[in-house]
Chain A
């Protein structure tokens, strides 16, 4: 959140960014204290909103740090959800914790990689037009269908 405020583009009022992000620690701490996943979602949404505000009122240059911010956002979310899981003494087993942490870090890295690829694609000098729009619509529909398919698979 602080990094977002400090990295604000010229012309963007940092106070506005801080105002959007200020409730985040409170909401996040409340979610962790109450073990309430709703508050955690709210905190992540607020962090995302801060980025959106920064991008919306900033200049039109592509932000090359976005994949890193995305990975940090996912890491925050994963650690927060990990924290509110029921406490079981066996969690202290180092092997289990290490294995899980590895999976989380791998997903963050993968997310950053995919984000970077998306950013490269967005920054390419391909001219627009109906075929590209069609490809985008098909890709979005395919992604939704894929998620729906894996979600509906019977156990």
Chain B
């Protein structure tokens, strides 16, 4: 433990010294009497000061939590010598808050062990290391303070809060593995498709007895098979619009987490491409493990300023499997991501763009010129959206507070009616 003198020790030493000196100069014993208590406090304070033997341990009840929920941190303090005053500060990174008193003050008796609960509120998603504990023990007279920092850091992953989605976007083509998506083809499945006359080889349980009785010959049900799909979530991390605690990246990560969870629940294979200053990708796969991989990758997503030009060419081929649905989550602020998405469409990928609108994060300036610039910027964004629609890419604007399901429905509607025309 490091020992530090408080301002009080200097003040008391000065007061005692001045008093004694004045007593000598003026030849009055009363002034020495006035200085004596201060000298006495100094003497006892320094003589009785002992570095406290404090041991601190930290436990966090879980390593993963969802944004907005609580995590309990338990600080165990143990000492062999009595400590009249012990201040404990659990340093919390931005994104974690505590309603409990922090720093907390305790008094420990001889060989006492105390457990302190510090409930942590996960305010913002992210990967954190929690557990830098600073201990400060002033002596009984407040003259010296013993300080020490304990590095007891534990990883804590706070995942973005997901949103309930009833219907997901479906790719135009499915894979050959079984899943939850009903295809347009005929085969073994559950969803009824049509009736046809019985042919040798058909299973008896497929016979539709009502139709057979009506027609006088055996008829069988035809069904649509259920297949899985590949979905690649394309996260634009080139630029973000930020205002206060929220940003377009926060919304994008939140949406990406929701989409990944729902697609994986539907037995689809999900991949992730974080396209920005730092490139990060996950090849498509399915299962709970993949979900956690995606979520962990999302926690690492950050805006990394870069002027280097990047296009789709730098992505490994297997990150974008053929027939995959690419759901892009982008504020459409950076030319590189805008071009990359158009490039994906040009390569024949089934692409849908959810535009994380930066408009709520931008305030028009006070004067007329600023407002004109703002209007021009909005018009430019409209033109950009139109250019996507022109090549058959649905672009929907999604704002903070709006349900993601509404944005997805808009894409579904577009895909239901839009057809690409080639001149």
Contacts and interface: CB of A to CB of B under 8 A. Distances in A.
A96 B85 contact: yes
B106 to A, nearest CB: 7
Given A90-B101, A147-B43, A155-B1, A70 B34 contact: yes
A37 B33 contact: no
B31 A155 contact: no
A111 B43 CA distance: 12
Interface in B12-59: 12-15, 18-20, 22, 26, 28-44, 46-47, 49, 51
B271 to A, nearest CB: 49
Nearest to A115: B33
Contact of A66 (B30, B39, B42, B103): B30
A138 to B, nearest CB: 15
Contact of A96 (B22, B38, B105): B105
A150 B3 CA distance: 13
A69 B36 CA distance: 11
Contact of A48 (B1, B15, B41, B105): B15
Given A70-B36, A107-B37, A91 B105 contact: yes
A111 B26 contact: no
A81 B26 CA distance: 29
B28 A56 contact: yes
Contacts of A69: 34
Given A90-B101, A147-B42, A111 B36 contact: yes
B391 interface: no
Interface string A102-132: 0100011011101110110011000000000
A93 B87 CA distance: 13
B29 A107 contact: no
Which of B22, B29, B107, B141 is the most central at the interface, judged by chain A CB atoms within 10 Å of its CB?
Answer: B29
B93 interface: no
Contact of B33 (A44, A66, A99): A66
Interface of B: 1-3, 7-8, 11-15, 18-20, 22, 26, 28-44, 46-47, 49, 51, 84-85, 87, 101, 103-107, 140-142, 146
Given A41-B15, A89-B104, A111-B40, 18 more contacts: A44-B15, A45-B18, A48-B34, A51-B31, A52-B28, A69-B34, A70-B37, A73-B37, A74-B38, A81-B8, A96-B85, A110-B40, A111-B37, A115-B33, A123-B29, A147-B39, A147-B42, A155-B2
